[in-house]
Structure 1
């Protein structure tokens, strides 16, 4: 059964309200959970004023919203279009292609309301939305795929979208349950998560179809590519972080050190296993770990298969 069976009634783009910003910070609400802002507790930032720390959390929220706008349209919708218009190389029923257009509509709407909320917040707080383009993230993801699958370029966007869409729900589910966060941020993230739950089911099924239609000679290269794509998907684009710190009055070289300490090595990967749990289950059920060397490739990236 399609996860989009009641899409015309339930999808956010069909029935969701426009979320409007109301400043609840006087009631102790925050723009973004500080525990999810890796650099706020860095020793180099201990002398920052409360106002500067507030600016950092606002801009971190902007990063969260703008990355949605860019990545949904530049990664997910690129693949959704290939599927919907029959250009994916997969043998799919027309119902799957119709559903891919539903994904396309959803993602465009997620991008719209993410930018809309950032603009509302900027207008009321006076904290401008920086002109970030997330090219570093998009380029890194593309580079990983083309480097590891140089002879199968058509596979790369499909593998990227499966990774991205099966990971994102875990990230989105954290904010709506945090009562310290502004209501509008919790609401808009909950809206997003509801749609992405359907997308997860769609792309989990799509991966099974892709895997079983894959030429057996390609299963090894694909299995060894997937852990690097996961890592690339969960590697934060650090240039906006650096720029946000500089805007808060931090010296450029100090900002570089803060970013390095907060995002390099194990510091940026502590939550990797939990976030990837559902994605790993998709691969496991499809048979990826039956490929010789696949388990080792994932484990070497800190992604051991689930027991």
Structure 2
């Protein structure tokens, strides 16, 4: 397909399907103690007997705090990470981006700004309907901090290419995570609608970044390919890592009225489930990332493939 015809098709598709243009406002339903606003399976402390004994209102409080953290985290990735990368493309901080890609980057900026708007709107509605205030409004998260650490460790001339690859990975991960939440049947319909509307755009974004990296990676100097490739396993460990201290859950338990000793018991006794769940999710995500990196060409260098193999990241 000629480049002009392809660009017109992409642009027409965005005008027709972008959720910012076609989706009505998503409204949070009235709260009840029985309603699930976030998956219980992702909050292992909810099912501990000490917590269950406090009743459905406490469970609702815990799940609401978890939902706040997730939605704030999505907004941070969109506004501080993805949009920033697109702006760097538009303003030629990332070299060699053609006009067609810049036009698509602008659609991503519009979409991601809208997603951040919807997430904040949903949070504001949740606060009003539940009368539950977020325990904290994060200004960063582990994914952003991990990327900043990796970025700072790179030679300056490699940072923009790493940023583009890191966003490509993040969009792939976010698309899968949002889609999985959208398939949670027991959740409030408004929350699953929020997720599925989001994933409609994220799938397109993920393909855009992946296609851009597939074209761009082979053009990078071998030194850049090897340097970035060799650091990726450690970066992914950091990017996908969990807070093993479970600081935020401890704070939630304190707010629920549990003593330090009770909170410690809940954390200790739920830790096997927490650790198993984190390991399962990390393994699944790494399989997706490994396939993505293979498609881009990152693993064509033997030294890079060996670095992944050394950490047991090689998957069938």
Deviation at 1:165, TM superposition (A): 0.6
**Equivalent residue in structure 2 for 1:193, among 189, 193, 199:** 199
8 Å Cα contact 1:122-1:128 kept in structure 2:
yes
1:182 matched to 2:188? The reply is: yes
Measure the CA separation in 2 of the matches of 1:25 and 1:165. 34
Measure the CA separation in 1 of the matches of 2:257 and 2:155. 43
**Equivalent residue in structure 1 for 2:42, among 36, 42, 47:** 36
Alpha-carbon RMSD:
2.7
For 1:293, what is the secondary structure of its paired residue?
Answer: helix
Match of 1:218 in 2: 224
Match of 2:23 in 1: 16
Measure the CA separation in 2 of the matches of 1:191 and 1:57. 21
Task: Give the structure with the larger helix fraction.
Answer: 2
Gaps (5+ residues) in structure 1?
none
**Equivalent residue in structure 2 for 1:248, among 244, 256, 275:** 256
8 Å Cα contact 1:63-1:240 kept in structure 2:
no
**Equivalent residue in structure 2 for 1:206, among 201, 206, 212:** 212
Deviation at 1:252, TM superposition (A): 5.4
Gaps (5+ residues) in structure 2?
1-5
Match of 2:176 in 1: 170
C-alpha distance after superposition, 1:219-253 (max 9, x if no partner):
11111222333333333465544433332224457
1:67 matched to 2:73? The reply is: yes
For 1:181, what is the secondary structure of its paired residue?
Answer: coil
For 1:128, what is the secondary structure of its paired residue?
Answer: coil
Deviation at 1:185, TM superposition (A): 0.1
For 1:39, what is the secondary structure of its paired residue?
Answer: helix
Measure the CA separation in 1 of the matches of 2:274 and 2:188. 29
1:117 matched to 2:122? The reply is: yes
Match of 1:105 in 2: 110
Match of 1:153 in 2: 159
Measure the CA separation in 2 of the matches of 1:108 and 1:195. 12
In structure 2, relative to structure 1, the CA distance for the partners of 1:302 and 1:180 (3 Å cut) is farther
In structure 2, relative to structure 1, the CA distance for the partners of 1:303 and 1:42 (3 Å cut) is farther
C-alpha distance after superposition, 1:39-80 (max 9, x if no partner):
334576454432212100111111111111111101111111
Aligned residues: 303
In structure 2, relative to structure 1, the CA distance for the partners of 1:36 and 1:102 (3 Å cut) is same
Deviation at 1:103, TM superposition (A): 0.6
Q: Which deviates more from structure 2 when the two are superposed, residues 215-224 or residues 226-235? A: 226-235
